[in-house]
Structure 1
Amino acid sequence: MKNDLLIRAALSQPTERPPVWMMRQAGRFMKEYWEIKNKYSFLEMCKTPEIAADVTMLPIDLLGVDAAILFSDILVTAEAMGGDLSFEQGVGPRFANPVRNMQDAEKLDVDCLDRLQYVADAIKVIQQRLNGSVPLIGFAGAPFTILSYLVEGGSSKDFKLTKTLLNNQPELAHYMLQKIADVTIAYLNMQVDAGVNALQLFDSWALALSWNDYQEFSHQYNKYILSKLKRTVPVISFCKGSSVFAPLMAEANPDVVSIDWNADLLNIKKSLPEGIAVQGNLDPFVLYADKPVIKKKILDLFERMRGEDGFIFNLGHGIMPDIPFDNVKYAVELVKEFRY
Structure 2
Amino acid sequence: MNTLFLDAAFSKQTERPPVWMMRQAGRFMPEYWEIKNKYSFLEMCKTPEIAADVTMLPVDLLGIDAAILFSDILVTGEAMGGDLSFTQGIGPKFANPVRTLKDVEALEVDVLDRLQYVADAIKVIQQRLNGSIPLIGFAGAPFTVMSYLVEGGSSKDFKLTKLLMHNQPEVAHKLLAKIAKVTADYLNLQIAAGVNAIQIFDSWALALSWNDYQEFSHRYIQEIIANLNRKDIPVISFCKGSSVFAPIMAEAKPDVISVDWNADLLNIKNSLPAGIAVQGNLDPHILYADKPVIKKEILRLFERMRGQNGFIFNLGHGIMPDIPFDNVKYAIEVIKEFKY
Structure 2: stretches of 5+ with no match in the other structure: none
**1:286-318 deviation digits (Å, cap 9, x = unpaired):** 000000000000000000000000000000000
**1:24-78 deviation digits (Å, cap 9, x = unpaired):** 0000000000000000000000000000000000000000000000000000000
**1:236-259 deviation digits (Å, cap 9, x = unpaired):** 000000000000000000000000
Match of 2:329 in 1: 329
Match of 1:298 in 2: 298
Superposed, which structure 2 residues align to 1:39-58 within 5 Å? 39-58=38-57
Counterpart-to-counterpart distance in 1, 2:28 and 2:184:
32
SS of equivalent residue, structure 1 residue 176: helix
**1:130-162 deviation digits (Å, cap 9, x = unpaired):** 000000000000000000000000000010100
Letter in 1 for 2:3: D
Letter in 1 for 2:293: V
Match of 1:244 in 2: 244
1:164, CA displacement in angstroms?
Answer: 0.8
Superposed, which structure 2 residues align to 1:145-294 within 5 Å? 145-232=144-231, 233-294=233-294
Counterpart-to-counterpart distance in 2, 1:77 and 1:180:
8
Match of 1:308 in 2: 308
TM-score by length of 2: 0.99
1:231, CA displacement in angstroms?
Answer: 1.1
Letter in 1 for 2:11: S
Give the percent of matched residue pairs that are identical in Structure 1 and Structure 2. Answer: 81
SS of equivalent residue, structure 1 residue 278: strand
SS of equivalent residue, structure 2 residue 312: strand
Structure 1: stretches of 5+ with no match in the other structure: none
Counterpart-to-counterpart distance in 1, 2:191 and 2:89:
33
TM-score by length of 1: 0.99
User: Across the two proteins, how many residue pairs are aligned to each other?
Assistant: 339
Pairing 1:104–2:96 present: no
Superposed, which structure 2 residues align to 1:13-162 within 5 Å? 13-162=12-161
Q: CA RMSD for the aligned pairs?
A: 0.3
1:87, CA displacement in angstroms?
Answer: 0.1
SS of equivalent residue, structure 1 residue 306: coil
Moved over 6 A (4+): none
Letter in 1 for 2:107: L
